[in-house]
Amino acid sequence: MMTLLISGCSEKILNAKGYPGQSEVTSEVKADTHNKDAKHSNDQMQNNVEQAKQSVANTSDENMKRHTTDKNQDGIQVVFNPESIPVLVNKQNKLPENYKPADLVYTDIPFVSDVTNEKRKMRRVAAAAVNQLFAGAKADGISLLAVSAYRSHETQTTLFNSYVNRDGYEKARTYSALPGTSEHETGLAIDVTSGNGKCAAENCFGGTPEAIWLEQHAAEYGFIIRYPQGKESITGYQYEPWHLRYVGKELALEITSKGITLEEYYNEV
């Protein structure tokens, strides 16, 4: 007997009409604090990437190339390094039971209306990076709104169940994830949309000036478009130009320059 526990990867905003939370990005990090945080983030990211690569290089088991160990009863492998910044979480690799990032903090960016406090959080290094990304976009005349960042295991379950009720299980699996296999649970992923709030987590976001800017500049801030167009058979998800995943600047630039996915990156090392 298999219990259906399901969660979301993308979050559709069905009634996005008013956005009282659309205040300008007002946080300006002081120069000395910024430099210390940037150095710490870069050093930590380098350590994480090297550890991740070494972990993969030291194993001869192809399945272990994805930072995984034990398999659960559904045959999904459980990652053993959930705190690693470049951790691979997807339909084949899930987070440990009851995992919750220890360093969640509030982001300082505008969100669409009616977003719970939980979904405004990210892991500390990712939150600092997304603050900078939003500021960089604003400097280039691009207005962005965040839709959803961190989601707890319970929130994921409730969200995906609603998709199943609406679209059916198989359809929902093309854009959402089972509990523990959603990147939002890592605290390293965030969905964004245009400043007017339209096309939030919808296909119509693709091709907008905001989506184009993200494709061209997200990597400069350590983010990748996690589910790129034409890679559905690899990622297991439809094209999601709004879904950003923090992996650190060095790795993001490498993945973006090669036009590959996180799965393909780990298959290379």
- Catalytic site positions: 240
In angstroms, what CA-CA distances link 113 with 51, 148, 160, 185?
A: 39, 11, 21, 21
Identify the H or E element spanning 172: helix 169-173
Identify the H or E element spanning 243: strand 240-246
Q: What does the DSSP assignment read for 107-151?
A: --S-B-TT--SGGGEEEHHHHHHHHHHHHHHHHTT--EEEEE---
Look up residue 95 and give its two tokens: 């987070």
Strands lying side by side in the sheet with 93-94? 68-71, 77-79, 93-94
Total count of residues recorded for the chain: 269
Using the structure block, give the residue that is written with the tokens 């693709």.
Answer: 206
